[in-house]
Structure 1
């Protein structure tokens, strides 16, 4: 620590107005919290946080770890180094945090000074970067493989056409049809892996208008699926590649209808928050298990028996190319929600 002796500094004010959340604990009891700490946990009044058990705001997975770290801080005067954990705000929202603690001696009492930093945005950025890099790597590999397979298949198709004219056999029609399906799949893979974004200009898009039009394409499903829309801030627009985004939302809506076996409900929401437009598509379908959610967006990975995964690969590529994010919440047997966030502006 460096201090100029010619100045008398009010350390209380420095702590009170620190950008980091600072809390002082007696065992697990909160006896001090600065303004940033109140903002972090979502409490307006200091009296609502004083004398509260700190574990109230800590995710249960970290209770034992926190207990041991605080014990060492108080009893062995150790510094608990930065650790990534999860905090539960007053409204129940979970956020990612970095937390550390140092010994704090007050008179004869050993306390712990805890410093907390919200790293939710950083974690989201890391997750987005990881997924983008994974998709990019898969895209490059898939493009190479697709080219190598598509070219000989096209040649085989040509020879099959010649055989049909010279030595017709009904099986040749089946071969030709299956070749067409294989070539179409590879063409789709090439388009999804390396979309030609430059050919389409970025334009202003009012998503609510486009979503209404998309839903109307599925009118033949309305007899069994109740569709509800909750559109707020309809005047808010985004800038993007219109056709690519419409294809992405079409794939999501189509998947939602297909996930609903028999009767069910589909909810489409739109709202604006913190310079971004959010679209949520929720269905009461079969749901997706947690171990499969992390693989969504990967080419040829599908939760459907006859699916290729190309639709969701296009969705993930398009949203990430528009600097957006995708979050999937699902429970098997109850349904799935795809939450899309797209930044406003260029």
Structure 2
């Protein structure tokens, strides 16, 4: 095969040095690209093995024949191309289609040049073909993917924009609308900070630095923005670093949540008003009863000032009002705590001593079960005493027909566990859900604030309080408090 081309070349261009002949032969036989050589009339002189495999024609089928790989619809343009090559123009890597023997059109990249004789006149044309079918398929798939992505972005109900170094390079129609622009073109080239509220500029700058320097995406964040007309709105944004037009950039997704924020604010205000209304009704209810009694006894005292029992009853009812007011104050403005090291068994013994008289009246036996006498905590003794007293009093009131109240003190890891177990009437699951709510109490005389204050105190001491109960079986109150390090 190469010999025919060499013979042709020697006949057209004169004798060539032997080393050039061998180089040309090696170039043809070992090149993985399909190569063909045609004369100036378009007849085939030589093709290599890669050409035979690629296009399906053998060298013997093509010798002296017009070039069959050119589709009919391209023959005119190919003739013009041949004229250009004859004139000395070289073509490298231009893309087109060619025809295989089986009739299939394939995408190829072609480089071509001419061969000149001893008088420097064109005597033949060399064509080098490279299969780019897979490349074209990949390009088509990429183009289709880009078009599909662009379509999604263009019709997205959320604002999507791309900026580089803070300068906006792309924005979808929703983004322009969100910022008060008539068209996308009005915003390209502007700084993102022109539309960021002063309150949010620092957070926006930090997020940009994370995406730019650390190449990390940033999650959803509520931020404040400014439209072109100066109107403020809230947006929920997330961003990620991308490559845009071959250069690093940042893509941002933004959703206008102004209406949602307004709804949340209205809902919050509504809940606050509802809570205030419930509290006001509860306060009025709790205070009205003792006030009615006070008013009645004062009227009786006016008629009969010598009745001391009226005065004592009046004082008692006023004290109830005072207790209620103090409970409100402890919730709103708690007194400053003076914390100290506390031995829990000492506080519990003090509470039991105070509750013994009420326990005797209710036929309740208080049983101490201390397994951690040395457990000490750091806190405010009067507040903890208030909590334990409230729990013990509630337990005794829950056993009007008598029973046993077990008070246990144990270690559990790094915490002290105080457990109160009574044999009272118990609390139903439905009522357990409401424990700790103001004006909800399991006691007929209670306001519900005692438990609420107790829970607050325990939490302020970094502890936990838990209730478990069964109707007819009794109630268990577990209180855990962190043990002071030196006592562990």
TM-score calculated relative to the size of structure 2: 0.36
Structure with bigger gyration radius: 2
